[in-house]
Structure 1
Amino acid sequence: MAPISSIASSGMQAAQQRLQASAHNVANVQTEGFTRLEVVQQSRSETGGVDAATRRAASGGVSLESEVVDQLSARNAFVANATVFRTADRMAGALLNVYA
Structure 2
Amino acid sequence: MLGGIWGIITTIVVGLILGVIGRMLAPGDQKIPMWLTIVVGIVAAFIGNWLAGVFGVRHTNGIDWIRHAFQVGAAVIGVIAAAGVYAGIKGGQKTS
Normalised to the residue count of structure 1, the TM-score between the two structures is: 0.36
Q: Which has the higher strand share?
A: 1
Higher RCO (C-alpha under 8 Å, 6+ residues apart): 1
